[in-house]
Amino acid sequence: MRGPVRVALTGTPGTGKTTVSSLLREAGNRVASIEILAERFDCIGDADPDDGARPIDIPQLYSRALDEWGESPDGSLFVDGHLSHLLPVDCVIILRCNPVDLQKRLEQRDYGERKVLQNVDWEILGGPWNDIEEEIPILEFDSSSDSPEAIFESILEWIVDGFKPERPANPIDWVEMGAV
Ligand code: ADP
Ligand code: MG
């Protein structure tokens, strides 16, 4: 069994990252949002007056985390954020959500229509898969079909098993699946 690891918990906004993070935290795991990490590493700007989002300097956060983190953490760390897969982590968990359900979830938020549709489009196009180039272990879930509890348990099993399988056999493609 491998030692402690750093895990990106990523996915288009609304795919269930924070829900799974809560379960991980309740079970005693260390979880940090990417905003908290960016604050700690002094890589975050002031809130945008339009949507309140705080811009994170990702290249700077990547290099500061790489310098600071060293080889292996004292305990496993889960990073909750839709850009967390851009950090120097050991593996990536991608949460997906059927675009129809995702739109409903995002409409519950105080997002404008444009922001809802931008995020739904991003999900249809593959979400975080678009950014991933390196050969990092990836586990993917559909939060529109799997419960938060089932996802939580599978994540822990996958880590204990040493990230097997290293990649999903059939990555989710909403277009191919006829979901859009
Ligand atoms: P994120 O942190 O990725 O933006 P949230 O965890 O805030 O997403 O979840 C968005 C919405 O989807 C919430 O209303 C949450 O209750 C719901 N949700 C999250 N995960 C699941 C799931 N596996 N099954 C059903 N609903 C979920
Ligand atoms: Mg969240």
Annotated domain spans of the chain: 6-160
Q: What is the pTM of this model?
A: 0.96
- Nearest Cα to Cα of residue 105 among 175, 28, 18, 29: 18
Task: Return the ligand number nearest the Cα of 20.
Answer: 1
**pLDDT of 175 strictly over 70:** yes
Mean pLDDT of 47-57: 88
CA-angle at 178, arms to 176 and 180, nearest 5° = 105
Least confident stretch, 65-69, 70-74, 86-90, 161-165: 70-74
Residue whose token pair is 């419960």: 147
- List CB contacts of 14: < 8 A, sequence separation 6 or more: 97, 102, 105, 106, 109, 119
**pLDDT of 51 strictly over 80:** no
Ligand 1 neighbour 143 (Cβ under 6 A): yes
Q: Give the type of residue at 70.
A: G
> What CATH class has 6-160?
alpha beta
56 backbone dihedrals φ, ψ, rounded to 5°: -105, 130
- Ligand 1: atom nearest CA of 82 is 3
Mean pLDDT of 69-76: 86
Q: Kindly state the helix (H) or strand (E) to which residue 6 belongs, with its residue range.
A: strand 6-10
Q: What is the mean pLDDT of the chain?
A: 95
**pLDDT of 139 strictly over 70:** yes
- List CB contacts of 51: < 8 A, sequence separation 6 or more: 111, 112, 115
How is 122-141 classified by DSSP, letter by letter? HHHTTGGGGG--S---EEEE
Question: What per-residue confidence (pLDDT) applies to 71?
Answer: 79
Q: Give the type of residue at 169.
A: A
Q: Which of 23, 79, 105, 116 to mutate to test the pocket of ligand 1 (most atoms within 8 A of CB)?
A: 105
**pLDDT of 1 strictly over 70:** no
**pLDDT tens column, 104-124:** 999 999 899 999 999 999 999
**pLDDT of 2 strictly over 80:** no
3-state SS class at 7: strand
The proportion of the chain whose per-residue pLDDT surpasses 70, expressed as a percent, equals 99
